[in-house]
Amino acid sequence: MKNEKDLIRVCEIDTNEWRVDHWVCEVYEAQRKNRRIHMTYTKGVPNGTVNDEGRTTVTPLYLVKAWLVRRVQEIRKREALSDQLKDAKKYSFRYKKMNIERVPIGFFMKLTCRISTSGS
Tens digit of each residue's pLDDT (9 = 90 or more) over 13-55: 999 899 999 999 999 999 888 888 888 888 888 888 888 888 8
Q: What is the mean pLDDT of the chain?
A: 84
Q: Which amino acid is at 27?
A: V
Answer yes or no: pTM beyond 0.75: no
Question: CA 62 to CA 86: how far, in whole Å?
Answer: 47
Identify whether the C-beta of residue 16 lies closer than 8 Å to the C-beta of residue 76: no
Neighbours of 7 (CB within 10 A): 16
Q: Does residue 116 surpass a pLDDT of 90?
A: no
CB 50 within 8 A of CB 37: yes
What is the three-class DSSP state of 44? coil
19 contacts 71 by C-beta, under 8 angstroms: yes
> CA 95 to CA 54: how far, in whole Å?
85
Q: Which residues are CB-neighbours of 120 under 8 A, at least 6 positions away?
A: 97
